[in-house]
Structures are given as structure tokens and as C-alpha cells.
Amino acid sequence: MSTVYISHSVSPWELAQVYVLARETERQGLQSFIPDRTWVPANGVPPSLTGIVAQAELMLLFATLSGNHLEWVNQELRAAQGKPVVAVAERGIELTGIDDRNIVEFDRSEDVAGAVGKAAARVGALSLQRRNKNLVTGLLVGGLVLLLLRGLPEDGGRQ
């Protein structure tokens, strides 16, 4: 099962939304992982988390203006270089290096559930695209191998 690494910069009272996001992601058929915030960002992402980031199919980011974990998020984003990132971000947060199509903004005056649902759907779509791409690549490689094998003489080239 594919894993989604959920990075977050939320205040403790907003953490419930991160768990709702994880549940919605799991409804898309993906396993989610929410890191703890017990490590020190100045020391870099600990090896235990770097391994999880490396194995994750993509990163899902949840960021709020009142969040106090932005440096953790920045470190995790660096560790996830090259992976697709989907972000649920409160309006006013500047995000760089993330495809605009993968940023879902919300306003505190609105229900965040809509943004969470959109982000989970985007994660599901990206995961499906990646799986389909891998399937097509596998079929192409398999077809080429079959063509090569069919081109070999029946006696295996022995005379």
C-alpha cells in the first residue's frame, strides 16, 4: 500500500484537522503517516523519518498561520525533494516550489472540511496517475522483453 507523509505546521488545537486529513487520505486507498514533533529541526530530519519520507509516494502538507512547526515542515520538504507535494494552506501562507494545482487554500471563516476533501481527492488522483504510469512502464518493458525473446532462434542460438 502506498504511503502519504503528512507534514504539518499546525498549533496543537488544530492537530485534529491533520487527523481528519489522514482519514480522508486513507479513504483514497493510501496509508498515511503523521510525524511527531519531538525532533530538533536544527539537527535535520532524523534518519527514522528520512526513511519514511523516502518510501512515501508523496507528501501532504497542512499549514496554518498560527502553526508553530514551520521549520519542521521546511526540513521535511527538503527531505522529500522530487516527490509530489499537495498542500492544504491557510490563506496568507506563502508556499514556494509546490505546483499551484496542488495547493488548496482555506480561510478560517470557512469550514476547512471542503479544503481537506479537495486535497484528499488530489492526493488520490496523483497516486492513481503514478500507479498508471508505473503500470504502463511495466507493460512496455514486458512487451519489449517478449519481442526480444521471440526474436531468438528456437535452438537458443546453438548450432
Which residue range(s) make up the domain with 25? 3-151
Question: How many domains is the chain built from?
Answer: 1
Q: Label residue 156 by pLDDT band (50, 70, 90).
A: low
In a domain, 156, yes or no: no
pLDDT of residue 50: 93
In a domain, 157, yes or no: no
In a domain, 159, yes or no: no
In a domain, 129, yes or no: yes
- Looking up residue 130, the CATH number of its domain turns out to be 3.40.50.10140
pLDDT of residue 133: 56
- What cell does 9 get? 505546521
pLDDT of residue 87: 87
Strand, helix or coil for residue 104: strand
Cβ atoms 88, 61 nearer than 8 A: yes
In a domain, 147, yes or no: yes
pLDDT mean over 34-45: 90
pLDDT of residue 144: 58
In the chain, which ranges are E strands?
Answer: 3-9, 31-33, 58-63, 85-90, 103-106
In a domain, 145, yes or no: yes
pLDDT mean over 37-48: 91
Cβ atoms 18, 64 nearer than 8 A: no
Q: Label residue 21 by pLDDT band (50, 70, 90).
A: confident
Dump pLDDT digits (tens) for 76-135.
Answer: 999 998 888 888 888 888 888 888 888 888 887 777 777 777 777 787 777 766 555 544
In a domain, 101, yes or no: yes
* Average pLDDT value over all residues in the chain: 80
CA angle 81/2/60 to nearest 5° reads 45
Q: Is the pLDDT of residue 24 over 50?
A: yes
Q: Label residue 157 by pLDDT band (50, 70, 90).
A: low
Task: Report residue 99: phi and psi, to 5°.
Answer: -55, 130
In a domain, 13, yes or no: yes
